[in-house]
Amino acid sequence: MSERRGRGRGPRENRNQGQDRRPRAPRVEISPARIAAYDVLRDVEDRDAYANLALPSRIREAKLDGRDAALATELASGTLRERGRYDRIIELAANRAVGDIDTRTLNVLRLGAHQLLSMRTAAHAAVNESVELQRRVANQSGAGFVNGVLRTIGRSTPVEWDAKIVETASSPDEALAARDSHPSWVVRALRDALRAEGREQELEDLLAANNEPPRVSLVVLPGWHSGDAEALADGDDLTANGPSPFGLELAGGDPARAIEALGFPEGVVRVQDQGSQLAALALTRLRPVKEGERWLDLCAGPGGKTAVLGAELSGYTVPVRANEVSEHRAELVRRSVAAVADSVDVVSFDGRESDAYGEADAQFDRILVDAPCSGLGALRRRPEARWRKQPSDLPELTALQGELLDAAVAHLAPGGALAYVTCSPHLAETRVTVDRLLKRHSGIRELDAKAVLQSVARGDLDLAGTSLSAQLWPHRNGTDAMFIALFERVS
């Protein structure tokens, strides 16, 4: 760029070129936070990276301080959450389908749109830095295109753009999907799940909740403090909000510092969604623990629920076998359970095969099947997931879920309890899977998961519908959309 601006000519030489040459605008400096945010979008788009992993890596790589790290986080996460809405606005402003725009330029436009429509960034700064970013990371000839599109976007308010989205949509569902930044098929799936509970009218609240960055939830593992987590809250940054009796919410700041300040041994306090905490507690608190029981976490990675299982067994000689098919994720489980390692044995096998259970005829008194799923229940925390999954992914996932459950039932001891958990509200992964399991296995019966969760939770849980299983929701319960079903072997 410096070569294009003058090729070494001084100001006097430029002035002597004549009046037909317009002076160049001074170079705009791009903030390191914007570059880091762009790199995260590129990692997600081109390398299938997870934003929650790519973002900290890019922040460390750029050596951003607290303020710039917060800016990079808002730019990257906010842009990913609102990507569908911004794409439609870009199409309207550019009069061009986003599929016809170079992906590098499109990511520059998405970041610019987020600054113009959802942040307090001055319009000239958002446009000028975006133009300069385009010149740096993509083709320089597209700088004028970026400038024109973003200036067009900046001439209308967010409310006006939402009205244009609705006016130009082919159907109400398409309008809702674009305005609230969810793929249409996800909108339909979420509506179906809410309708099954008689709560279809909550759809827009749910979509809005998916687009709100959640507060950081912590868990203090059971057995490491007296009473519940309320005694540990400071009432300011750290509060005992949420449904888990062992859960805390961090209003802001660095989670690592907040965890360190509590003074527990490493691994006792960690970041974990409270829906995940409740899913583990539903199995552990279903009935009193008896000496001699054997427990199994069949799909343990990355190990958050496994750690809760192990902590609940403090004072008992009850072993937990934690199986994870991926050796890499099995190592994450080992790190996660370090504080309760005496109770947990981590192995790595396919959960459908006998090796996962130790012996072909092994039986367990409690089994947790936290099955691989679409992840549609964690869209607040993993905003890019909504753009990666397709309806065509569901058949393979539901087949795997069924196979894992069948294998687990075969190793469930008489009178034993099984918890089926998915971080998804999609009916194909929840009630459909449960109903098919009950048809295949007459020797198990479903238990009242709602009643168990109510007995465990801090305060009253709003659990809708007539089924025995429980579906948690971000807009209603403040958790990820975790599904929990409980079973008992009766013969």
pLDDT in tens, 24-55: 555 678 899 999 999 999 999 999 998 988 99
State residue 226's pLDDT score: 62
Angle at CA of residue 201, ends 199 and 202, nearest 5°:
75
pLDDT tens string 368-419: 999 999 999 999 999 999 999 999 999 999 999 999 999 999 999 999 999 9
Of 116, 182, 183, residue with least CA distance to 149: 116
Reported as type and span, the H/E element at residue 141 is none
Mark the ranges of the chain whose per-residue pLDDT is less than 50: 1-23
Known binding residue 303? Answer is: yes
CA pair distance 351, 338, nearest whole angstrom: 23
- From residue 208, alpha-carbon distances to 73, 185, 213, 440 in Å are 19, 16, 10, 38
CA pair distance 473, 461, nearest whole angstrom: 11
Known binding residue 299? Answer is: yes
State residue 227's pLDDT score: 61
State residue 341's pLDDT score: 85
Known binding residue 302? Answer is: yes
423 is catalytic: yes
Instruction: Indicate the domain borders of the chain.
Output: 32-168, 272-489
Known binding residue 305? Answer is: yes
Domain 32-168 belongs to what topology? Answer: N-utilizing Substance Protein B Homolog; Chain A (1.10.940)
Reported as type and span, the H/E element at residue 414 is strand 412-422
Superfamily (CATH H level) for 272-489: Vaccinia Virus protein VP39 (3.40.50.150)
Could you say which of 111, 189, 219, 423 is catalytic? 423
- The three-class DSSP label of residue 343 is helix
State residue 456's pLDDT score: 96
State residue 213's pLDDT score: 87
Beta bridge partners of 216: 250
φ, ψ of residue 272 to 5 degrees: the values are: -160, 130
State residue 125's pLDDT score: 94
Known binding residue 253? Answer is: no
